[in-house]
Chain A
């Protein structure tokens, strides 16, 4: 299946990025073949709504699960609506460790928003 991990750089050995909406890269990994593809997160510099924008990207990739360090309320609602499962990075330091921990069933599934979100939206 397809997994998405937030990372600070492209590649399987890249360090993970704990931020979902504002993580630098999304590394999309096929757990069966370990083929990967990295996408720069266009939401990093989004004026606001990075969480919802990133969630939309993840949903478009038709990934079964996403692994990151923090899912704010908007990202959580959006990902849940897109039926994407969310997992916390836990002790994973790199993308490949995160994949291994996921496959090994060591990651905690997220069933509620984990942060207050990083508000950068409305107002000014």
Chain B
């Protein structure tokens, strides 16, 4: 079983479009692979919008305990305020003695809990979001939603991926397709951990190249093999050529160029992967080619893994 993660650094380069197409192609295209799908962009989960999932299970995601001060017990000594390094403890409002905690700023470190001489502070777990197991048109899908302004998306990413991985192991699936978040911070690191292969969806723009370089540094840092495909490759050919040159210089394999194609947005509006909505569209044909190359690579690596 292999884990393939889609990343981009920059948002909106078409990661989810590629992930959805791969989900479809794994189920109905060539080569066929048994896939479990995971939407690890829990900040803004979109994969379900094009896979038509039927929810089977929903679970609360309780995480990120925050400190709460019992106003009855607090005597206003201010030790909590002094030890908090996250500016999360609020001094008493006019005329009161009790300190309070801003739950959004609270980092959950509990330093104040251990220092409070009155034992007036407790850690209270927060309902940070929900996660779901669904049946989609193209196989099992694990996805999640984070409540607004909640922390700990990295942990929810880890959880969604773990669930997908366990099901894939139980069912003897070939691959887990992980639609990753943008950026290179906590959620992206969570998405890449344990991955066998990363497909970077790069966009040929000044910003796109900059962020692709950052995400390739990250994959190198965590020693995950990266492949690159260029989306909207024809929108600025010079930048596409720069991406190619960059990949050659860094020894990163380029596995395809997907042209700008209005069929992609049309498919989106119809809630379908472009490869299912209009298989003969230029972007769909290019995606089928990218899938073939990436899938061959996964199968090859799996065979190698068994031999060693």
| Contact flag (A, B; Cβ within 8 A) | yes
Residues of B within 8 A of A122 (CB): 154, 186
Of A48, A116, A120, which contacts B222 at CB under 8 A?
A116
Q: Is the CB of B224 within 8 A of A116?
A: yes
Q: Is the CB of B155 within 8 A of A48?
A: yes
Residues of A within 8 A of B222 (CB): 116
Distance A49 CA – B64 CA, assembled complex (angstroms): 13
Q: Would you call A124 an interface residue if the criterion is a C-beta within 8 Å of the partner chain's C-beta atoms?
A: yes
Q: Is the CB of B186 within 8 A of A119?
A: yes
Q: Would you call A117 an interface residue if the criterion is a C-beta within 8 Å of the partner chain's C-beta atoms?
A: yes
User: Number of contacting residues on B, CB 8 A?
Assistant: 26
In the complex, per-residue mask of B122-161: 1 if CB is within 8 Å of any chain A CB, else 0? 0000000000000000000000000000011111001101
Of B108, B151, B155, B223, which contacts A116 at CB under 8 A?
B223
* Smallest CB separation, B113 vs chain A (Å): 15
Q: Would you call A115 an interface residue if the criterion is a C-beta within 8 Å of the partner chain's C-beta atoms?
A: yes
Q: Is the CB of A124 within 8 A of B193?
A: no
In the complex, per-residue mask of B194-216: 1 if CB is within 8 Å of any chain A CB, else 0? 11000000000000000000000
Residues of B within 8 A of A47 (CB): 63-65, 108, 152, 155
Of B159, B185, B194, which contacts A123 at CB under 8 A?
B185
Q: Would you call A106 an interface residue if the criterion is a C-beta within 8 Å of the partner chain's C-beta atoms?
A: no
Q: Would you call B265 an interface residue if the criterion is a C-beta within 8 Å of the partner chain's C-beta atoms?
A: no
Identity of the chain B residue whose Cβ is nearest the Cβ of A70 in the assembled complex: B194
Distance A120 CA – B161 CA, assembled complex (angstroms): 11
Count A-B pairs with CB separation below 8 Å.
56
Q: Is the CB of A116 within 8 A of B158?
A: no
Q: Would you call A10 an interface residue if the criterion is a C-beta within 8 Å of the partner chain's C-beta atoms?
A: no
Q: Is the CB of B153 within 8 A of A19?
A: no
Q: Is the CB of B169 within 8 A of A121?
A: no
Q: Is the CB of B169 within 8 A of A119?
A: no
Q: Would you call B189 an interface residue if the criterion is a C-beta within 8 Å of the partner chain's C-beta atoms?
A: yes
In the complex where A22-B162, A123-B185, A123-B186 touch, is A115 in contact with B194 (Cβ < 8 A)?
yes
In the complex where A19-B162, A47-B108 touch, is A115 in contact with B193 (Cβ < 8 A)?
yes
Residues of B within 8 A of A124 (CB): 64, 151-154, 186
* Smallest CB separation, A118 vs chain B (Å): 5
Residues of B within 8 A of A117 (CB): 193-194
* Smallest CB separation, A27 vs chain B (Å): 18
Residues of A within 8 A of B190 (CB): 118-120
Q: Is the CB of A119 within 8 A of B193?
A: yes
Residues of A within 8 A of B230 (CB): none
Q: Would you call B80 an interface residue if the criterion is a C-beta within 8 Å of the partner chain's C-beta atoms?
A: no
Q: Would you call B176 an interface residue if the criterion is a C-beta within 8 Å of the partner chain's C-beta atoms?
A: no
* Smallest CB separation, B67 vs chain A (Å): 14
* Smallest CB separation, B232 vs chain A (Å): 30
Identity of the chain B residue whose Cβ is nearest the Cβ of A15 in the assembled complex: B170
* Smallest CB separation, B262 vs chain A (Å): 37
Between-chain CB contacts (< 8 Å), 9 pairs: A47-B65, A47-B155, A115-B194, A116-B193, A118-B193, A118-B194, A120-B158, A121-B154, A123-B185
Given contacts A47-B152, A119-B186, 10 further A-B contacts (CB under 8 A): A47-B64, A115-B193, A116-B222, A118-B193, A119-B154, A119-B189, A119-B190, A121-B154, A121-B186, A123-B187
Q: Closest 4 A-B residue pairs measured CB to CB?
A: A123-B186, A124-B151, A120-B158, A116-B193
